[in-house]
């Protein structure tokens, strides 16, 4: 459930953080009633923007690391323990290095997402580079400057990508000996249970309970002031449909890229993989306008159809799926495939019967990430969807633009609730497998 | 357990040894190509679900709206019912919609661009077709383009919004120049990136000249105003007391009163003296020269200037009408009392000078 904050659009997240923790926000008015506290630490600027973006994007790491943990062989840790390492040492020397690809891919996604975000930084009044790009569009309608600035952003993204490649190194992450990985055994935390629980609690409260409380408050307040509650059913179904479609297609598209990157590392495959990440680092509006230009000229049949929208989602969000699929692919030993091959299976059969089941956790995590982020995607949805096609994200945006808080809140709550269904499904599946 | 399948196989293997190189290309081409085919298949099946909607069917109209759906959808629905025309609307920000129209160029499926502000209309003016006199003649000259390519459809006044717990209207200056006084230090909220704010600064240059406008910007900047991202955030901040005064458009306040009730601690203040701080801006529309449904587009604009539509804006969205004989919402300050200066919208559609000034004074990056 903790991954749900990913679905909160950053312009809602930013607004909620200001409403709750701002200089005259709800938290302050509560404190001033109780303890007469008049000033809170400044939320505007870097601290607030960093806090908001951390809360909104930590599921990138959570989801990829979790799926890598499921795929890890407990035998490694047991071996380390039996050779006399303490739990701590095992954690640092065995577990963390094993998780390195997942952590670095997650961190990469967080980094790129933060680079491309506009909503949170503008509401929290932090002058990021994206904000400058948006200003070029918004005030001077100057697409030339915006495009030039976006190219700079691409450079920064390339630097992040190189950093990630460097962190990951050239190690192997699959088991090399024979033997079958066993089910994981939960570790009893003992007294450490409480601090661990408290930490998780704080994260969940800040990332999910706080926004939900503010949204709930807006809804109740609006109802008291006589606003009507209209639930956005059609946009909801549209959101689920198009995000689900995008999730399936993207994961399918990410498998070949991950195969290339992991099994056939070369300049070319590295380039293919890296280039997929660029779309994610660019502000959605830049990519969307590019697709408008391309679509209306060279693909007029597709332009402003559902397919076009799905293509846009794939371009914008593909790296999330690649990241998740790849980090679980790294744990699969090529011996498995070789064994199947030597037994006379055809490559396609091996793919379907051996490789895909082995990277299932990664594919599910990728699909989950895709679904959640496609649910909240805004610029491409506004520009490229079939005309008149509304999703929950566009409904929320349209309502916040003109201060229709009640309507924004109901749709946002709906968005979180709807997204929790596939998340619950994913989580339950994984826990089910454990036993 | 998916794991057991390959593991069982391993027992029958001699050991983990390197395999022959000739296996790899087959693996690559077979599997990767198949995956790509699968992706394509999914893509095509998704495409099949999509019903084609050609734009040249008689009786349809495509509107790109930079105005929010919450505000204009009800009146567009009325037009749909009254005219029988199948109206399709794409909503987005004014800047994004303008950029889209420019990117689409000749191939744009849009008939009408409905924009939030004169600058948005000015940005795509080169793509607009001249409007007929039957439309232009309805609107006062100052609310339409001099080339006759766009018309204003509703008016929004620039105001000062103040916190009612901390201030009363008497304490507020006669015109917006008064806020450069050091007593306002740390008490002002503004949105320098916002289009309406920039239009107001353009109005200042028209009325005051560049020198005085620069001095005003420098004076306000010296008072350390808090910069918000839009009008909504300004009104929210004034209502909560985060700042004491702010410069938004007039109608945002009424949204807050609807959401939070009468206790919301902010009200509008119209300057006692006529000046650029109280300029009346318009939201308007134009018809693209490539419009596939030109006749319907004309009918759309005519409807938007009809008494019905103008009455809708005046009573439901708290805006000012651009034609006469319309009764405005009782919460609104009557037009005669807001002291709006006499400024042509056409003078406000070029933003370059304003942006240069805002950058020069370090207000915009």
What pLDDT is recorded for position B60?
Answer: 92
Domain containing residue A81: CATH number: 1.10.3720.10
Q: Specify the residue for token string 């849009």.
A: B110
Distance CA B309, CA B305 (A): 6
Domain-embedded: residue A349: yes
Q: What is the mean pLDDT of residues B254-266?
A: 89
What pLDDT is recorded for position A260?
Answer: 82
pLDDT tens for each residue of B186-236: 999 999 888 889 889 999 999 999 999 999 999 999 999 998 888 988 999
Domain-embedded: residue A256: yes
Domain-embedded: residue A178: no
Distance CA A433, CA A384 (A): 40
Interface subset of A 142-201, CB within 8 angstroms of B: 143, 176-181
What pLDDT is recorded for position A40?
Answer: 65
Q: Do B233 and A18 touch (CB under 8 A)?
A: yes
Q: What pLDDT band is residue B63 in, cutting at 50, 70 and 90? A: very high
Number of domains in chain A: 1
> Beta strand B266-269 with B160-163: parallel, antiparallel or unpaired?
antiparallel
Interface subset of B 135-154, CB within 8 angstroms of A: none
Domain-embedded: residue A62: yes
Q: Does the CB of B49 have a partner CB in chain A at under 8 Å?
A: yes
Q: What is the mean pLDDT of residues A353-370?
A: 83
Q: Do A264 and B28 touch (CB under 8 A)?
A: yes
Which residues lie across from B63 on neighbouring strands? B89, B112
SS3 B318: coil
Domain-embedded: residue A182: no
Q: What is the mean pLDDT of residues A75-101?
A: 80
- Whether B13 shows a pLDDT value over 50: the answer reads no
Q: Express as a percent the part of chain A with pLDDT over 90.
A: 3
User: Among candidates B313, B331, B146, B175, which has minimal Cα distance to B247?
Assistant: B175
Domain-embedded: residue A226: yes
- All residues of chain A having their beta carbon less than 8 Å from the beta carbon of residue B240 are 22, 24-25
Radius of gyration of chain B (CA): 28
| Distances A382 to A91, B270, B276 between C-alpha atoms, Å | 46, 35, 34
Residue pair A369/A63 in contact (Cβ under 8 Å)? The answer is yes
- All residues of chain B having their beta carbon less than 8 Å from the beta carbon of residue A305 are 47, 50
* Phi, psi for B215 (deg, rounded to 5): -60, -40
Domain-embedded: residue A181: no
N-terminal to C-terminal alpha carbon distance within chain A? 20
Q: What is the mean pLDDT of residues B107-112?
A: 94
Domain-embedded: residue A187: no
Q: What is the mean pLDDT of residues A15-22?
A: 80
- All residues of chain B having their beta carbon less than 8 Å from the beta carbon of residue A177 are 16
SS3 A4: helix
What pLDDT is recorded for position B165?
Answer: 94
Lowest mean pLDDT among A157-171, A249-263, A383-397: A157-171
Q: What pLDDT band is residue B288 in, cutting at 50, 70 and 90? A: very high
User: Which of residues A381 and A226 earns the better pLDDT score?
Assistant: A381
User: Among candidates A364, A86, A347, which has minimal Cα distance to A248?
Assistant: A364
What pLDDT is recorded for position B10?
Answer: 40
Interface test with A, best of B39, B72, B190 (most A CBs within 10 A): B39
pLDDT tens for each residue of B312-334: 999 999 999 999 888 888 889 88
* Phi, psi for A127 (deg, rounded to 5): -80, 85
SS3 A150: helix
Lowest mean pLDDT among A162-176, A350-364, B156-170, B193-207: A162-176
CA angle A344–A345–A346, rounded 5-degree value: 115
Q: Does the CB of B327 have a partner CB in chain A at under 8 Å?
A: no
Distance CA A72, CA A61 (A): 16
pTM across the whole model:
0.80
Q: What pLDDT band is residue A121 in, cutting at 50, 70 and 90? A: confident
Q: Specify the residue for token string 């689920």.
A: A240
Q: What pLDDT band is residue A2 in, cutting at 50, 70 and 90? A: low
What pLDDT is recorded for position A197?
Answer: 79
Q: Does the CB of B77 have a partner CB in chain A at under 8 Å?
A: no
N-terminal to C-terminal alpha carbon distance within chain B? 58
Q: Do A383 and B23 touch (CB under 8 A)?
A: no
Q: Do B47 and A305 touch (CB under 8 A)?
A: yes
Residue A165: give the domain boundaries: 4-173+192-434
Q: What pLDDT band is residue A212 in, cutting at 50, 70 and 90? A: confident
- All residues of chain A having their beta carbon less than 8 Å from the beta carbon of residue B3 are 180-181, 358
């Amino acid at each position: 459930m903790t991954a749900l904050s990913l679905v909160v659009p950053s312009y809602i997240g930013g607004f909620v953080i200001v409403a709750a923790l701002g200089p005259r926000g709800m938290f302050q008015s509560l404190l001033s009633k109780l303890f007469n506290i008049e000033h809170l630490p400044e939320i505007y600027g870097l601290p607030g923007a960093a806090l908001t973006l951390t809360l909104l994007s930590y599921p990138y790491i959570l989801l990829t690391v979790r799926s890598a943990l499921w795929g890890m062989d407990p035998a490694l840790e047991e071996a380390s323990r039996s050779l006399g390492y303490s739990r701590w040492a095992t954690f640092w020397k065995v577990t963390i290095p094993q998780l390195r690809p997942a952590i670095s891919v997650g961190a990469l996604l967080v980094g790129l997402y933060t680079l491309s975000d506009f909503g949170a930084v503008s509401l929290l009044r932090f002058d990021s580079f994206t904000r400058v790009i948006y200003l070029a569009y918004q005030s001077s309608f100057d697409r030339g400057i915006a495009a030039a600035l976006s190219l700079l952003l691409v450079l920064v993204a390339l630097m992040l990508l190189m950093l990630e490649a460097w962190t990951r190194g050239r190690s192997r992450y699959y088991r090399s000996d024979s033997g079958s990985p066993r089910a994981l055994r939960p570790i009893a935390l003992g007294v450490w249970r409480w601090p661990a629980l408290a930490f998780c609690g704080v994260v969940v409260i800040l990332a999910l309970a706080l926004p939900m409380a503010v949204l709930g408050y807006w809804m109740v307040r609006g109802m008291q002031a006589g606003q009507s509650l209209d639930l956005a059913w059609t946009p909801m179904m549209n959101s689920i449909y198009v995000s689900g479609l995008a999730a399936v297609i993207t994961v399918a598209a990410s498998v070949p890229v991950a195969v290339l990157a992991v099994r056939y590392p070369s300049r070319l495959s590295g380039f293919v993989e890296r280039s997929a990440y660029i779309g994610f680092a660019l502000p959605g509006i830049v990519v969307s306008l590019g697709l408008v230009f391309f679509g209306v000229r060279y693909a007029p049949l597709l332009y402003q159809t559902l397919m076009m929208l799905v293509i846009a989602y794939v371009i914008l969000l593909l790296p999330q799926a690649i990241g998740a699929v790849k980090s679980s692919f790294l744990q699969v030993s090529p011996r498995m495939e070789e064994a199947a091959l030597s037994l006379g299976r055809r490559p396609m059969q091996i793919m379907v019967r051996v490789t895909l089941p082995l990277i299932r956790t990664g594919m599910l995590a990728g699909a989950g990430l895709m679904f959640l982020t496609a649910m909240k995607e805004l610029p491409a949805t506004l520009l490229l969807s079939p005309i008149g096609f509304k999703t929950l994200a566009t409904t929320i945006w349209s309502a916040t633009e003109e201060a229709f808080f009640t309507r924004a809140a109901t749709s946002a709550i709906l968005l979180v609730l709807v997204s929790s269904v596939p998340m619950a499904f994913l989580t339950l599946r994984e826990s089910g497998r454990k036993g | 357990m998916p794991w057991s399948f390959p593991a069982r196989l391993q027992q029958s293997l001699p050991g983990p040894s390197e395999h022959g190189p000739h296996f790899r290309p087959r693996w690559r081409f077979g599997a990767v190509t198949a995956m790509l085919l699968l992706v394509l298949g999914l893509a095509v099946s998704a495409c099949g679900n999509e019903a084609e909607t050609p734009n040249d069917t008689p009786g349809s109209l495509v509107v790109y709206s930079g105005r929010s759906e919450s505000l204009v959808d009800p009146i567009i629905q009325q037009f749909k019912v009254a005219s029988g025309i199948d109206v399709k609307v794409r909503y987005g920000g004014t800047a994004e919609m303008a950029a889209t129209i420019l990117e689409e160029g000749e191939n744009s499926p849009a008939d009408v661009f409905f924009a939030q502000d004169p600058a948005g209309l000015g940005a795509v003016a080169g793509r607009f077709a001249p409007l007929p006199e039957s439309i232009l003649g309805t609107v006062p000259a100052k609310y339409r383009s001099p080339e006759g390519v766009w018309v204003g459809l509703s008016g929004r006044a620039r105001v000062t919004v103040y916190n009612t717990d901390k201030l009363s209207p008497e304490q507020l200056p006669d015109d917006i120049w008064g806020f450069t006084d050091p007593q306002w230090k740390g008490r002002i909220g503004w949105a320098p990136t916002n289009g309406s704010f920039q239009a107001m600064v353009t109005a200042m240059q028209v009325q005051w000249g560049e020198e005085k406008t620069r001095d005003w910007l420098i004076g306000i900047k010296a008072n350390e105003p808090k910069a918000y991202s839009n009008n909504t955030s300004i009104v929210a901040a004034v209502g909560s007391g985060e700042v004491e005064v702010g410069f938004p458009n007039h109608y945002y306040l009424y949204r807050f009163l609807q959401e939070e009730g009468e206790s919301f601690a902010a009200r509008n203040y119209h300057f006692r003296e006529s000046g650029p701080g109280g300029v009346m801006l318009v939201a308007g529309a134009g018809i693209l020269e490539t419009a596939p449904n030109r006749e319907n587009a004309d009918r759309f604009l005519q409807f938007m200037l009809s008494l019905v539509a103008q009455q809708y804006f005046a009573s439901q969205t708290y805006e000012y009408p651009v034609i006469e004989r319309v009764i405005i919402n009782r919460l609104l300050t009557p037009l005669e009392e807001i002291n709006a200066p006499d400024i042509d919208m056409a003078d406000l559609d070029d933003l370059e000078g304003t942006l240069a000034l805002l950058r020069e004074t370090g207000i915009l990056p």
